[in-house]
Amino acid sequence: MNEYTYPILFGVIIGVTIRLVMLRADYRQYPTYLHGKVIHISLGFIAASLGTIAVPAIMELEFTAVTFLTIAASQFREVRNMERNTLTELDAYELVPRGNTYIEGIAIAFEARNYLVIFTSLLATLSFLVWNIWVGIIISFVCFFIVRKFMSGKTLKDIVNIEYVQPHFEGAGLYVDNIYIMNIGLPQRQEEIGEYGMGFVLTPKNFNVRSTIANLGQRQAILHDISVSMGVFRDSGTPALVPLIKRDLDDGRIGVFVLPQERDKEKAIKIIGAVPVLENAIRMPSESKANKEEGGLK
């Protein structure tokens, strides 16, 4: 026991707690497994230790000790690779895959969360050592709220208007509103689609959103989330029953066609609204210099 024992213990506990808070098994269904959780909590513990120990090391004038943070960085890049590989492998066996953009988003989130743990532990330990445990606790709470607020990201309901439209056939062509989805030849399939199919039109709220929802990865994420939450009327070897999203080239609206097992319009609209806007899909054409000078896009 020395003067650093309690601050270090405090920093590690705060770090692991923050990691646990960020590790919620939600509808994205990952990580739902006990082993997946153990891996992430252990890595969170390592991250917390690294962040914590950096502070006393510097106080003891061991400046080289900071270099081990670089080891941490490469370690957590490994975490991102691990996440990406696992999810890509599993994705091949999903009835409605997540898509690479979604997977990359999840992988980045896992890496970033470990860095957040390092920062939180560092600040918590620092404030404990400089002031006292109460300041440490207050700083930890501040970190906690910042993490909650800024790391949750936007959802689709912030950027689009969602409305239900019953899909219909014109000849063999399947339409959602006036957006062409695909050609279904067999009358039997057409009946199934008439019975189970649901259509939604997502209207972008501004010009930037157009390119975001046009992103194929973002569209796949929408389909995956609906299918996970509401079930899916399909099996392997029935490509005609695949949920699809197509775009109206004129105004950038997208037509979502899904075949959920549970046909509840209100719930489906809520679920689409809660789909995360993928970081990798966000585009900001309005921020480009040319567009700013010309004076805005409609």
Partner 1 sequence: MKVEKMVLASVTMKRDNVDGGSPIFICDTKEEMDKVAANLEAILDGISHALSDELYIIVKH
Closest contact distance (angstroms) between CB of 165 and partner 1 is 23
User: How, if at all, do strands 179-183 and 173-176 pair?
Assistant: antiparallel
Rounded least distance, CB 115 to partner 1, Å = 38
Instruction: Provide the minimum distance between the beta carbon of 182 and partner 1 in the complex, in angstroms, as a whole number.
Output: 8
State in angstroms the smallest separation of the CB of 246 from partner 1.
Answer: 14
Neighbours of 85 (CB within 10 A): 12
Question: 227 CB contacts (<8 Å, ≥6 apart)?
Answer: 95, 96, 243, 258, 260
How many beta carbons lie within 10 A of that of residue 210, not counting itself? Answer: 21
Give CA–CA dist 176/216, Å, rounded.
18
Shortest distance (Å) from residue 231 CB to partner 1: 22
Cα separation, 186 vs 268, whole angstroms: 27
Which residue ranges make up the site for partner 1 (CB under 8 A)?
A: 171-172, 182-189, 236-237, 239-240
- Closest to partner 1 by CB, 171 or 296: 171
Residue 182 or 282: the one with the smaller Cβ distance to partner 1 is 182
CB 167 within 8 A of CB 199: yes
Concatenating the DSSP letter of every residue in 279-293 gives GGG---GGGSHHHHH
171-190 b/e with 16+ CB inside 10 Å = b?
eeebbbeebebeebeeeeeb
Q: Which is nearer to partner 1, 83 or 192 (CB)?
A: 192
